[in-house]
């Protein structure tokens, strides 16, 4: 039963969270929750990648078809996590309305796919595209916590995150959205869910583009200031050498 698997999944993510709580006693609740999120991101990306690219069927051509056992399993694992994370976010008030809306839409979409027994292949495809950037997002947060974000590593993580989000979640996501809307097998309610998820992806993309612009602008200003300081240092050194001569 898919719902039983969802309950097992929820219990598993809760147990992992409390394991991190007991292990990292000096860290706060968000640190432990982010570790669970990172673990889920890596696991679900690998699982849905196998479902989409190896086990099949191909979501771009088979949207709306009946779920396979592996698709249902992947959806149950993911749904259990979203129940956990949604509850945690509500308890600790850490996320804004957009992220909560994303979680609610994800829960509704996965739940519908499990209950109706169809559209599992495109739902797994959407999960793969949505979660592939998640480990980078969590890595960015952990780099901030340990004081390593303002470094070449932090810049590389941000750049890779922006590129992956733009190409996979928005670029490939647009193709997936079109295939879902035009598929005669996909139900109307799943198509409406696709509209909501696609709209949220663009809301996130606008925020990410603003962030990328601000960070690039700040980096450029810093580079200009450093360049000016180096020129001033060279002039001072040249002035001292002229006096000594």
Give the integer Cα–Cα distance in Å for 118 and 108: 14
Q: Mean pLDDT across the stretch 192-209?
A: 91
Q: What is the pLDDT of residue 25?
A: 86
Alpha-helix runs per DSSP H in 51-170: 69-92, 97-116, 120-131, 134-145, 152-164
Question: Whole-model pTM?
Answer: 0.87
Name the band, by pLDDT with cuts 50, 70 and 90, for residue 68.
Answer: very high
Name the band, by pLDDT with cuts 50, 70 and 90, for residue 150.
Answer: confident
DSSP state for residue 65 in the 8-state scheme: P
Give the integer Cα–Cα distance in Å for 88 and 20: 14
Judge whether 157 and 80 are in contact, CB under 8 Å.
no
Q: Has residue 211 got a pLDDT over 90?
A: no
Q: Has residue 143 got a pLDDT over 60?
A: yes
CA atoms within 13 A on the CB side of 63: 22
Percent of the chain with pLDDT over 90: 65
Q: What is the pLDDT of residue 233?
A: 61
Q: Collapse the DSSP code of 132 into the 3-class scheme (helix H, G, I; strand E, B; otherwise coil) and give the result.
A: coil
Burial class (CB in 10 A: 0-12, 13-18, 19+), 237: exposed
Q: What is the pLDDT of residue 2?
A: 77
Give the integer Cα–Cα distance in Å for 81 and 91: 15
Q: Collapse the DSSP code of 185 into the 3-class scheme (helix H, G, I; strand E, B; otherwise coil) and give the result.
A: coil
User: CA-CA distances (angstroms) from residue 165 to 160, 173, 175, 199?
Assistant: 8, 10, 14, 14
Which of these ranges, 41-50, 62-71, 217-226, has the smallest mean pLDDT? Answer: 217-226
With CA atoms as reference, report the closest residue to 130 among 97, 84, 176, 86.
176
**Residues written for the chain:** 245
The dihedrals phi and psi of 48, each to the nearest 5 degrees, come to -70, -30
Give the integer Cα–Cα distance in Å for 179 and 175: 6
Q: What is the pLDDT of residue 121?
A: 93
């Amino acid at each position: 039963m898919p719902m039983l698997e969802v309950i097992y999944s929820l219990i598993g993510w809760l147990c992992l969270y409390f394991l991190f709580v007991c292990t990292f006693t000096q860290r706060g609740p968000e640190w432990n929750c982010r570790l669970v999120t990172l673990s889920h991101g890596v696991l679900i990306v690998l699982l849905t990648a196998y479902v989409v690219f190896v086990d099949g069927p191909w979501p771009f051509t088979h949207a709306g078809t009946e779920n396979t056992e592996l698709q249902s399993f992947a959806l149950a694992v993911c749904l259990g996590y979203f129940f956990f994370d949604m509850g945690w976010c509500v308890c600790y008030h850490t996320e804004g309305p957009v992220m909560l809306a994303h979680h609610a839409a994800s829960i509704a979409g996965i739940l519908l796919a499990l209950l109706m027994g169809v559209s599992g292949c495109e739902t797994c495809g959407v999960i793969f595209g949505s979660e592939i950037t998640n480990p980078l997002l969590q890595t960015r947060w952990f780099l901030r916590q340990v004081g390593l974000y303002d470094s070449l590593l932090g810049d590389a993580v941000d750049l890779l995150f922006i590129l992956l989000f733009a190409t996979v979640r928005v670029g490939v996501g647009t193709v997936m959205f079109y295939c879902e809307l035009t598929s005669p097998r996909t139900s109307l309610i799943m198509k409406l869910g696709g509209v909501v998820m696609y709209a949220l992806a663009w809301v996130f993309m606008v925020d990410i583009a603003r962030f990328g612009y601000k960070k690039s602008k700040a980096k450029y200003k810093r580079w200009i200031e450093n360049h000016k300081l180096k020129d001033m240092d060279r002039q001072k050194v040249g002035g001292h050498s002229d006096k000594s001569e």
